[in-house]
A = this chain, B = another copy of it.
């Protein structure tokens, strides 16, 4: 069996076991997602921050662009996330310096949101639309939700950052498990203790592959066919790439963000909780450096409180205050179309593995 005929390609009915990572925040446009799926991979919507209406709209647009499978990713909310008035006001004070520097009239504050209700509405859309693939980050949904999705034929993908999380996902019924190495850009999918989810792909993939019997897709540091071939050697049946797709013409990344990705060195990223309250890897900038060591609010509170600052920074073209998520393979990012990238990945992997 070749590298592209395995448990993952068969289960998902795709040609190549290459997933485009579901990067939240407007990165995964219908053009990017459909482009990946039309090229034989699996495009994924980073829907964590999207409203149910936005998700429904994008699903319709994707279906106009492709008849191939695609996935939608949701963030599993933490029902215990909370902060007291003092912590909130202290973070408001810290962030006020940035909002005033960016000329914003309104001071940072915490919007009132019912996160559980938003999540339930997101799930309802996925049920109504019978999405082919649904992936989850930051936790494992209740078993009733997984059963419901599976009953309608949706494939479930879980994100794990260590062996324990992978085993829990398998027990919960995941069809595929993403093993996310510490090299990955953006949020750590960790739902155990923070320090338990920082394992490099070279070590993580074989240990997860040994521990579960469902197929594993490797994420973290994979940027080209060399990474794909390596992941396969380590025991993965598929791969997930994020940063490599961010610099595609079809991605929704801000032009400044793309510019930062195309010019960053591999040693310039770090993990930070400054933007969202959860660890995520991005290109170091002033905001990350200055927030170092400060106690953040828990996710998603910190995320909601910094959102207006990041939005204004993007508007004013000030990358020093934007979240520039990037993986450690960032120097390998190229300005290409999604089709060009997919062809390069597939042909390169074939050369390395099917010789």
Which positions in A face B, CB cutoff 8 Å? Answer: 162-164, 181-183, 192, 195-197, 199-204, 206-207, 210, 220-224, 226-227, 229-231, 233-235, 265-267, 270, 284, 327-329, 331-332, 352
Contact = CB atoms under 8 A, between A and B. Distances in A.
A4 to B, nearest CB: 16
A327 B204 CA distance: 11
A205 to B, nearest CB: 8
A207 B164 contact: no
A181 B206 contact: no
Contacts of A266: 162-163, 199, 203-204, 207
Nearest to A206: B226
A230 B234 contact: yes
5 contacts: A183-B200, A183-B203, A192-B267, A202-B231, A233-B233
Contacts of A234: 226-227, 230
A230 B331 CA distance: 20
Copies in the complex: 2
Given A200-B201, A207-B329, 10 more contacts: A162-B265, A162-B266, A163-B265, A181-B200, A195-B267, A200-B220, A200-B328, A206-B224, A206-B226, A207-B331
Nearest to A271: B198
A276 to B, nearest CB: 20
A229 to B, nearest CB: 4
Contacts of A222: 202
A351 to B, nearest CB: 11
A332 B67 CA distance: 43
Contact of A227 (B164, B202, B229, B265): B202
A265 B197 CA distance: 12
Nearest to A211: B331
A196 B284 CA distance: 11
A329 B230 CA distance: 16
Nearest to A328: B203
A199 to B, nearest CB: 5
Contacts of A183: 199-200, 202-203
A135 to B, nearest CB: 20
A209 to B, nearest CB: 8
B227 A352 contact: no
A234 B266 CA distance: 16
A200 B200 CA distance: 5
A230 B206 CA distance: 11
B267 A327 contact: no
